[in-house]
A and B are shown apart, each in its own frame.
Chain A
């Protein structure tokens, strides 16, 4: 795993933990949003909004539908991070 990917995964864990009220330690790249985290369609939309805010990316609906696992989301962010401009937040 690249350093960048590891950092993104860490931030992704925080976003997911905050949005879905789960223990970040239980979230890894293979975790699925629907089956493992119990997110319904509205929760996923809300989560995508939070990812867009955190990573300053735009995740179009057709792309968002393809994000089944946490790893899928990390891959998307690694490929598109900062495309909208300078990230607003530092990694926390």
Chain B
């Protein structure tokens, strides 16, 4: 009997809330976290909206003198991880810490700090660069800082696969625990790329929504009037643990992680493969890994970013994998309609949402879905409002630029 992996803690900082429960509450109520962008002057920008973690106070988690050694993406990861570790109830002196990993995915890294230091370099020269520049910006200092803060001495590294980073980190943590490399793991994703350069870069790809006068209505997956994704930031973290161990110590088990699938499109920089072929294979692998028939999935938390092509190809891929189940019993929604797109943190946050959906038997809605694409008639995209439903299994999709796909399957505890 192979080792099983359960979720015994979770944490989040998101545009919809500064912890996991408040984020979930907001999402259950269908409230958007998208506002006018405030991080910098957007006068010259085509897209002026974002999902910022408004009110996030890193000082609540990190001593003030340590803040300068961390870009915001690390601060967000530290905060969400502290929530997850605390909820797990792992004792300060629990020997499992020796075998607890920290795998936290990051799509981009410390962009804000890089931009600030580049300005210093150009204006004042190389001797003025902070000694914290490198440790504050490199991606693996997110899991690195978390490992130091909690004394977690298992494997620690970052998975970088654009918008699938968080999902891949959780999937690889799952593999590591099943394989016996770890007994537990703090796993998820973090991102903070709402910077002048970050937004300019995504805008240059024509990827961002320009619905600037209606921020809360801008992220509208599968709606005919969608015009791109809304950039967002945050972190979503799970505390994963080998099941027998969690049961022995009497931990509260929120869900079980039962399957993981990854694949590459090998097709294009940014466009998904025709028919969502790569996504299909990742979903099939995850279902096979979980030893589940497609009909066992009750809810799919879709990647659904609110882009023209991606939204349709994801459903096309699901039709190929799930067959008639797509229009007969399967519920599909995109919580990015409320959170915006957290990039490398998306898979982490959506894993937290999937776990909470299972726990509470609540499927979050896809807000702003006023006029669904006609080709999707018959597919239940859970428009506008969350609905109650006892859930057995939830599948979460994450796809990234570069044609990289990560799929997780969670089961009710």
Contacts and interface: CB of A to CB of B under 8 A. Distances in A.
Contacts of A23: none
B65 A42 contact: no
A19 B69 CA distance: 12
Interface string B250-292: 0000000000000000000000000000000000000000000
B160 to A, nearest CB: 25
Interface in A17-62: 19-21, 41-43, 45-46, 49
Interface in B52-72: 63-65, 68-69
Contacts of A42: 69, 131-132, 135
A46 B63 contact: no
A46 B132 contact: yes
B295 interface: no
Provide the main secondary structure of the chain B interface. Answer: loop
Contacts of A46: 68, 130-132
Interface residues of A, number: 9
B132 A21 contact: no
B65 A20 contact: yes
Interface in B61-99: 63-65, 68-69
Given A42-B69, A42-B135, A49 B130 contact: yes
Q: Interface centre among A19, A20, A46, by most B CB within 10 Å?
A: A46
A49 B69 CA distance: 15
Interface string B119-153: 00000000010111001000000000000000000
Nearest to B69: A42
Nearest to A47: B131
Contacts of A43: 65
Contacts of B128: 49
Given A19-B65, A42-B135, A45-B131, 16 more contacts: A20-B65, A21-B63, A21-B64, A21-B65, A41-B131, A42-B69, A42-B131, A42-B132, A43-B65, A46-B68, A46-B130, A46-B131, A46-B132, A49-B128, A49-B130, A49-B131
7 contacts: A19-B65, A20-B65, A21-B63, A41-B131, A42-B69, A46-B132, A49-B130
In the A-B complex, the 4 residue pairs with the smallest Cβ-Cβ separation, listed nearest first, are A21-B65, A45-B131, A42-B131, A21-B64
Interface of B: 63-65, 68-69, 128, 130-132, 135
